[in-house]
Amino acid sequence: MSSLSPDLDQQAINVIRGLAMDAPLAAKSGHQGTAMALAPLAHVLYSRVMNFDPADPAWPNRDRFILSAGHASVLQYSLLYLTGHGLEMDDLRAFRQWESATPGHPEAGHTAGVEVTTGPLGQGFANAVGMAIAERILADRFGSDAVDHYTYVIAGDGCMMEGVSHEAASLAGHLGLNKLICVYDDNHITIDGATDLAFSDDTAARFAAYGWDVVELGEKADDLEALERALVRAKAADDRPSLLILRSHIGHPSPDHTDDHEAHGLAFDAGDVTRTKEVMGIPDEPFWAPEEVVSAYRAHAADRGGATRAAWSERAAGVTGTAEWAAAWAGTGLDGWDADLPTYEQGEQVATRKAIQAAFATTVDGLPGLVSGAADLTGNTGTKLPDPTPQSSDDPGGRQVYYGVREHGMGAALVGMALHGGILPVGGTFFVFLDYMRPAVRLAALSNAKVCFVFTHDSVGVGEDGPTHQPVEQLATLRAIPNMHVIRPADGNETAAAWRDAVLHDGPTALVLSRQNIEVVTDGSAVEFGAGIVRGDGDPDVVLVATGSEVAVCTHASDRLAEAGVSARVVSMPSWDRFEAQNTGFRRGIFPPNVPVLAVEAGVGLGWHRYADDVIGIERFGASAPGSVALDKLGINVDHVVERAQALLTD
Residues of the chain with CATH 3.40.50.970: 6-312, 349-519
The domain defined by 349-519 folds into Rossmann fold (3.40.50)
Residues 381 and 115: their CA atoms lie apart, in Å, by 30
Domain limits, CATH 3.40.50.920, in the chain: 526-650
Which CATH code for domain 526-650?
A: 3.40.50.920
CB atoms within 10 A of CB 193: 14
Q: What is the pLDDT of residue 238?
A: 87
Q: Over the stretch 130-175, which tens digit does the pLDDT of each residue have?
A: 999 999 999 999 999 999 999 999 999 999 999 999 999 999 999 9
14-70 pLDDT, tens digit per residue, is: 999 999 999 999 999 999 999 999 999 999 999 999 999 999 999 999 999 999 999
The answer to whether residue 2 scores a pLDDT higher than 60 is no
Check pLDDT > 90 for residue 1: no
Instruction: Give residue 3's pLDDT.
Output: 75
Catalytic residues: 407
> What average pLDDT does the segment 435-462 reach?
98
Please report the pLDDT score of residue 651 as a whole number: 76
pLDDT digits (tens, 9 = 90+) for 281-329: 999 999 999 999 999 999 999 999 999 999 999 999 999 999 999 999 9
pLDDT digits (tens, 9 = 90+) for 331-385: 999 999 999 999 999 999 999 999 999 999 999 999 999 999 999 999 999 999 9
pLDDT in tens, 527-561: 999 999 999 989 999 999 999 999 999 999 999 99
- 573 within 8 A of 547, measured Cβ to Cβ: yes
pLDDT in tens, 463-494: 999 999 999 999 999 999 999 999 999 999 99
Q: Which long-range contacts (CB under 8 A, 24 or more apart) does 637-644 make?
A: 637/553, 638/553, 638/556, 638/557, 638/560, 640/616, 641/544, 641/553, 641/554, 641/557, 641/598, 641/600, 641/616, 642/557, 642/560, 642/561, 642/564, 644/598, 644/614, 644/616
- Taking the domain 6-312, which CATH number applies? 3.40.50.970
